[in-house]
Amino acid sequence: MGSQTKYLLDESRIPKRWYNIQADLPRPMAPVLHPGTMQPVGPDDLAPLFPMELIMQEVTTEREVEIPEPVRDIYRLWRPSPLFRAHRLEKALGTPAKIFYKYEGVSPAGSHKPNTAVAQAFYNREAGIKRLATETGAGQWGSSLAYAGALFGIDVTVFQVRVSYDQKPYRRALMESYGARCLPSPSTETEYGRAVLEKRPDHPGSLGIAISEAVEVAVKRDDTKYALGSVLNHVLLHQTIVGLEAMEQMKMADTWPDVIVGCTGGGSNFAGIAFPFIGEGLRGGAKPRVVAVEPAACPSLTRGRFAYDFGDTAHMTPLTKMHTLGSTFTPPGFHAGGLRYHGMAPLVSHLLDLGLIDAVAYQQVECFDAGIQFARTEGILPAPEANHAVKGAIEEALRCKREGRSETILFNLCGHGHFDMAAYMSYSAGELTNQSYSEEELAMALAGLPSVPETS
Ligand SMILES: *Cc1c(COP(=O)(O)O)cnc(C)c1O
């Protein structure tokens, strides 16, 4: 028992319902506002972008949402994902803590992203949609939606942030193998992309710009909708399958997490592992400490403002209240491309505001150090994004060592790094640096936040 390493669940134990934390919030979230009227948006305002079923999932306060059988059937290809106990890492750290990780790298795209990509493609297909437009940073989301599009016969166009497009040609090859079209963003394909390139032809791109391009394409064509890989409530909802499975597996391991750690780009893999546990705490159960780990070069939770902002740079999206660095902020080109977003999921932001989670930021090099230590002990080479979660878990384990406490730590190993070898080559060559953002640019981006009348 004590030496078991791998906790597997039978296929029949794939959850039948996702968990919606909106049902258990002590205070409801701030409404999403229409930027023209400053009034709360209704379902019809979002209809050009998303199928109605996803819009309803965005706003529902039902505690559980049924997972459609065709989606569960596809989940069977890689779910339930394994939970591991990191015995060798524990030993290397000399910690009395027990470290567990849920491994989402077993999916076809190599990360947690297909958990929502498959669900979103399903609901779009049900609504008769033929084409989806989306953005991608590192290429994880683009390849996940490309895969899901192939399963449901939907054409997928992906705007990939240019620095990642250049750094990661194999991610693009994967998207194209699944049949998607992949363009570097800013691109000449959209009005907004052309406007950005005119001002700065060598623009490295950002998720905010790529989102604007994808939204522009979706708004202009009736047969096309938009899909987002993180941030939105329905995306976080779909990812809760990770935490729901982990709950069953922690029971098998005969323990329960005192600490839960996840990395945060837009917040979805973090929410996926943490929300089911936080929800149980809100309903009177155990309350684990929950730590969100973000990059110091794009620190929305630790340095951003909790304010209404646009989700994109061209200001085509509604206004949501979230931790933001400002929608015009361009994060520096560090390697964890999936964490280069100016905002944070409104639900994750709300939980931080309620004091239900903690947030920390780490530098690029120390995160790669952690990822390498993980690879040398546990064998899996994490994605650069996941290195942040590994770093966070190691810091917790070292704290346990200092305090002589044998706590149980659970973290989300949200993806493998097999498409990120260029980053690891820079690391081995000693060329990786800690990126810092420009304080002036951040101040400017924050000064440009939209002004919204106080609602409550
Ligand atoms: C996309 C991605 C992230 C960041 O997105 P979240 O919504 O914050 O999860 C983190 N890790 C990996 C491996 C990713 O692909």
Give nearest CA residue, ligand 1 atom 13: 415
**CB-ligand 1 contact for 268 (6 Å cutoff):** yes
Does 209 map to a domain? no
- Please provide the average confidence, as pLDDT, over all residues in the chain: 96
CA distance 445 to 448: 5
Beta-strand ranges (E) seen in 104-180 are: 131-136, 155-161
d(CA 394, ligand 1 centre) in Å = 19
Does 166 map to a domain? no
Domains of the chain: total: 1
- Summarised one tens digit per residue, pLDDT across range 206-215 is 899 999 999 9
d(CA 456, ligand 1 centre) in Å = 33
Backbone CA torsion sign across 302, 306, 307, 310: positive
Question: Which residue, among 337, 411, 452, 336, has the nearest Cα to 101 in the 3D structure?
Answer: 411
Q: Which ligand 1 atom sits nearest the alpha carbon of residue 272?
A: 9
Does 171 map to a domain? no
CA distance 16 to 5: 26
pLDDT at 2 over 70: no
| Beta carbons within 10 angstroms of residue 228's beta carbon | 26
Residue 270: CA count within 13 A, CB half-sphere = 36
Confidence tier at 138 by pLDDT (50, 70, 90) = confident
Of all residues in the chain, what percent carry a pLDDT higher than 90? 92
Does 228 map to a domain? no
CATH number of the domain that 434 lies in? 3.40.50.1100
Instruction: Give residue for tokens 């202009």.
Output: 220
Name the CA radius of gyration of the chain, rounded: 20
Give nearest CA residue, ligand 1 atom 15: 140
Q: Which ligand 1 atom sits nearest the alpha carbon of residue 230?
A: 7
Residues in the chain: 456
Question: Which residue, among 413, 405, 361, has the nearest Cα to 387 in the 3D structure?
Answer: 413
| pTM for the full predicted model | 0.97
Ligand 1, from 168, 273, 334, 339: best to mutate by most atoms within 8 Å of Cβ? 339
| Beta carbons within 10 angstroms of residue 10's beta carbon | 7
CA distance 105 to 82: 10
Range of the domain at 85: 5-14+65-110+239-447
d(CA 109, ligand 1 centre) in Å = 12
Give nearest CA residue, ligand 1 atom 5: 265
- Summarised one tens digit per residue, pLDDT across range 214-266 is 999 999 998 999 999 999 999 999 999 999 999 999 999 999 999 999 999 99
SS3 letters across 402-442: HHCCCCEEEEEECEECCCCHHHHHHHHCCCCCCCCCCHHHH
Ligand 1, from 106, 120, 263: best to mutate by most atoms within 8 Å of Cβ? 263
CA distance 53 to 33: 20
Q: Which ligand 1 atom sits nearest the alpha carbon of residue 268?
A: 7
**CB-ligand 1 contact for 274 (6 Å cutoff):** no
Confidence tier at 455 by pLDDT (50, 70, 90) = low
Q: Which ligand 1 atom sits nearest the alpha carbon of residue 111?
A: 13
Q: Which ligand 1 atom sits nearest the alpha carbon of residue 386?
A: 11
**CB-ligand 1 contact for 85 (6 Å cutoff):** no
Does 151 map to a domain? no
**CB-ligand 1 contact for 263 (6 Å cutoff):** yes
d(CA 141, ligand 1 centre) in Å = 8
Instruction: Give residue for tokens 């323990």.
Output: 255
Using the 8-state DSSP alphabet, how is residue 303 labeled? Answer: H
Residue 456 is predicted with a pLDDT of 44
Rounded mean pLDDT, 82-94: 98
- Angle, alpha carbons 49-204-105 (nearest 5°): 65
Question: Which residue, among 414, 160, 406, 161, has the nearest Cα to 293 in the 3D structure?
Answer: 414
**CB-ligand 1 contact for 367 (6 Å cutoff):** no
Ligand 1, from 107, 171, 230: best to mutate by most atoms within 8 Å of Cβ? 230
d(CA 339, ligand 1 centre) in Å = 7
Does 274 map to a domain? yes
Q: Token digits for 268?
A: 């979805």
Does 38 map to a domain? no
Q: Confirm if 386 and 380 have CB atoms less than 8 A apart.
A: no
- Summarised one tens digit per residue, pLDDT across range 268-294 is 999 999 999 999 999 999 999 999 999
Does 323 map to a domain? yes
